[in-house]
């Protein structure tokens, strides 16, 4: 089963959940740290809904290396921080909702059918999105979930959600060029009044995204990851411009 591998792979980008993420910075602060492009001709492009994304090479990366953590070990401190809003009772995460009701995420560690295996880990409250984040580990895949504290609505995401500095869009990257159990590409959501609406998605074939961060309302820096025939991952920095 791939759930443990999926957990470790996804947890590499746990630092994106920390309050110091780029999505909490101002556009001016981010622009000041953005590396210059070494080639103003795009090396690639992709489209999501009515948005075109141009990919440019960068001379160097300003993204800090990710810390290898797993959600099993970091869940405890996150639960302690949000004890009034979410608690774990055995295999169940219980979320207190603003309407007085509760929402739950229940593990299924020994299902009758292997494909129904599911284990959830609390990953913290995302202040900028006004929702809780959880990590889901399944039989041969993984994803993320946002839980709305107003009504308990759950939104499954391909990857960590990154809110644009103008608070208009959320981009979710997902990398899986090896096994293909997870998606490899991006989801794009609109964001309004604390609600997300899926605008579209794209699966990439030749490369996949590692960490990303918004530089301004239309520009991101990202890790452009490819895999060779020996299954080694090669990473280079790129700038992505949304049009």
Q: For residues 180 and 153, what is the distance between their CA atoms, to the nearest angstrom?
A: 28
Whether the Cβ atoms of residue 104 and residue 93 lie closer than 8 Å to each other: yes
The residue ranking higher by pLDDT, 31 or 187, is 187
* pLDDT number for residue 32: 41
- pTM more than 0.75: yes
Residue 10 has pLDDT above 50, yes or no: no
Percent of the chain with pLDDT over 70: 83
Let me know: does 176 contact 182? Beta carbons within 8 Å: yes
Q: C-alpha distances in angstroms, 26 versus 21, 66, 155, 213, 223?
A: 11, 22, 26, 12, 21
pLDDT of 68 reads: 67
pLDDT value, residue 69: 65
At residue 17, φ and ψ (nearest 5 deg) are -80, -15
4-8, 158-162, 193-197: least confidently modelled range: 4-8
Instruction: Report the run of H or E that residue 227 belongs to, with start and end.
Output: strand 219-227
Domain ranges of the chain: 3-242
**Partners of 126 in the β-ladder:** 131
* pLDDT of 5 over the 70 cut: no
Mean pLDDT of all residues in 40-63 = 95
How deeply is 10 buried, as exposed, middle or buried, from its count of CB atoms within 10 A (0-12, 13-18, 19+)? buried
Average pLDDT in the chain: 86
* Average pLDDT estimate for 21-48: 59
In contact, 54 and 41? CB cutoff 8 Å: no
* Cα atoms found within 13 Å of the Cα of residue 210, Cβ hemisphere only: 20
Of the two residues 178 and 20, the one the predictor is more confident about is: 178
**Length of the chain in terms of residues written:** 243
> Residue 10 is inside which H or E element, if any?
helix 3-11
For residues 243 and 240, give the distance between their C-alpha atoms in angstroms, rounded to a whole number.
Answer: 10
pLDDT confidence bin for 178, thresholds 50/70/90: confident
């Amino acid at each position: 089963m791939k759930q443990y591998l999926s957990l470790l792979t996804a947890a590499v980008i746990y630092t994106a959940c920390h309050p110091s993420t780029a999505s909490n910075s101002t556009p001016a602060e981010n622009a000041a740290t953005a590396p210059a492009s070494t080639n103003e001709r795009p090396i690639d492009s992709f489209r999501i809904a009515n948005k075109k994304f141009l990919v440019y090479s960068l001379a160097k990366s300003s993204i800090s290396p990710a810390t290898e953590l797993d959600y099993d070990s970091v869940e405890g401190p996150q639960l302690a921080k949000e004890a009034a809003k979410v608690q774990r009772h055995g295999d169940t995460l219980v979320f207190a909702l603003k309407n007085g009701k509760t929402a739950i995420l229940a593990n299924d560690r020994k299902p009758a059918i292997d494909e129904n295996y599911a284990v959830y880990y609390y990953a913290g409250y995302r202040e900028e999105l006004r929702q809780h984040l959880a990590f889901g580990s399944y039989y041969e895949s993984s994803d993320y979930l946002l839980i709305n504290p107003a009504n308990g609505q759950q939104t499954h995401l391909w990857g960590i959600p990154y809110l644009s500095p103008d608070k208009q869009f959320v981009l979710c990257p997902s990398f899986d060029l090896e096994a293909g159990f997870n998606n490899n590409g991006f989801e794009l959501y609109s964001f309004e009044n604390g609600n997300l609406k899926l605008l579209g998605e794209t699966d990439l074939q030749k490369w996949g995204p590692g960490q990303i961060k918004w530089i301004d309302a239309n520009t991101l820096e990202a890790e452009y990851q490819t895999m060779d025939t020996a299954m080694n991952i090669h990473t280079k920095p790129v700038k992505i411009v949304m049009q």
